Structure 1
Amino acid sequence: MNTDIDAERNKQVAIEFYRRFDAGDIPGVLDTMADDATFWIAGKPGSNPSVGTHSKAEMATMFHRIMKQMRGGLKMTVKGVTAEGERVALEVESYGELHNGRVYNQEYHALMTVRDGRIAAVREYMDTQHVAAVWFAPA
C-alpha cells in the first residue's frame, strides 16, 4: 500500500465533492459520499437547524434546500488541501446570492475521512453567525 498515492486519491475525492457542488450537481455530490456517511457541522446545538451530526439523507435534503434558495447556484472554491492517509483537510470559500437578496460568502474548514473511494465522514467548521444572519434571520 502506497500511502502517498492513497492520500492523493483521497484528495481528489474530496475536491470532487466541491466541484460537483459548484456545478449544482447535488446527485453527484451525494455520489461522492458513502451510504452511511456522517456530516457534522460546528455550532452550538439549537442555534440553527444546520448544526450537529447529519446522515447522508439529511444532508441531501439540506443541500437541495440550499440550492433552491440560491440565485444562480453556490460557487465553491477550494483554496487549500492537505491529506494524510484517509484524512483530507480542505479550506473552502463559498459565494452565492439568495433570492431574497442576501449574499452568502462563507469560509470553511472541512476535515473529511475518505474510505474505499467515498467520503465516510465530514467535520465542517464555519462562521455560524454568518449562517444565522443570511439563512435564518427575519427579512
Structure 2
Amino acid sequence: MTKSDNTGLVLSFFESFNAGDAEAAFALLDEEAVWWVAGKPDRFPLAGDYDKDGLLRLLGTVGQAMPNGVDLKVTSTTTQDDRVVVEAESHGVSAAGKVYDQRIIYVFQLHDGKIRQVREYLDTQHAVDVLVTG
C-alpha cells in the first residue's frame, strides 16, 4: 500500500469510530491487532495491551465514564512506510460532569492493509481524574 493508502485507512478508522460504527472500525483491525495504552497499570488502570476483544471492553469502560460520547478530532498525520502517526484532540464530559480535554498521539503500524498495532500516548493523570475517579 502507498503512504496515501495507509493514511486513508487510519483516517477511515477514526471516521467510523466517531460515527459510532464500531463494526466498520474493527473491520480495519488485523485479527492479531494489539492496542497499547500508555501508563503504569497500578496508577492508570486502563494502561496496557489489548487484543480486539479487550479493546471492545476498554471502549465500553470509556463509554460508561463518558455517556454522551467523546468527540475525537484528528489534527495531523505523518506517514512513513507502513507507520502512521496521528495527533488528535479528544473532548467530552464525564458522567460526573468533569470536562475531558485530552491531547493524544497514536502510532499505527499497518500490515497487509490492516491495522496491526496501535500505541496510544496520552496524559494519563488527566484520564484518571476524568475517566477513572470522576
Among candidates 83, 87, 97, match of residue 83 of structure 2: 87
Tell me, yes or no, if structure 1 residue 11 matches structure 2 residue 7: yes
The aligned amino acid for 1:18 is F
Q: TM-score normalized by structure 2?
A: 0.91
* Cα shift readout 1:64-117 (whole Å, capped 9, x = no counterpart): 232243243211100000101100001011111122212212110111001122
Among candidates 36, 61, 64, match of residue 65 of structure 1: 61
- Measure, in 2, the Cα distance between the counterparts of 1:20 and 1:67: 16
- Aligned equivalent of 1:131: 127
Indicate the SS of the match to 1:133: helix
Deviation at 1:48, TM superposition (A): 1.9
Indicate the SS of the match to 1:72: coil
Indicate the SS of the match to 1:100: coil
For structure 1, which segment, 33-42 or 58-67, has the greater mean C-alpha deviation from structure 2 after superposition?
Answer: 58-67
The correspondence of residues 14-29 of structure 1 with structure 2, limited to 5 A, is 14-29=10-25
- Measure, in 2, the Cα distance between the counterparts of 1:70 and 1:98: 4
- Measure, in 1, the Cα distance between the counterparts of 2:64 and 2:14: 18
Tell me, yes or no, if structure 1 residue 32 matches structure 2 residue 24: no
Gapped regions of structure 2 (runs ≥ 5): none
- Aligned equivalent of 2:117: 121
Deviation at 1:42, TM superposition (A): 0.9
Among candidates 93, 96, 106, match of residue 97 of structure 1: 93
Contact 1:41 1:124 in 2 (8 A): yes
Tell me the percent identity. 31
- Measure, in 1, the Cα distance between the counterparts of 2:35 and 2:111: 15
Q: Kindly report structure 1 stretches of 4+ aligned residues shifted beyond 6 Å.
A: none
Aligned residue pairs, count: 134
Q: TM-score normalized by structure 1?
A: 0.88
* Cα shift readout 1:4-23 (whole Å, capped 9, x = no counterpart): x6111111111112112211
Indicate the SS of the match to 2:11: helix
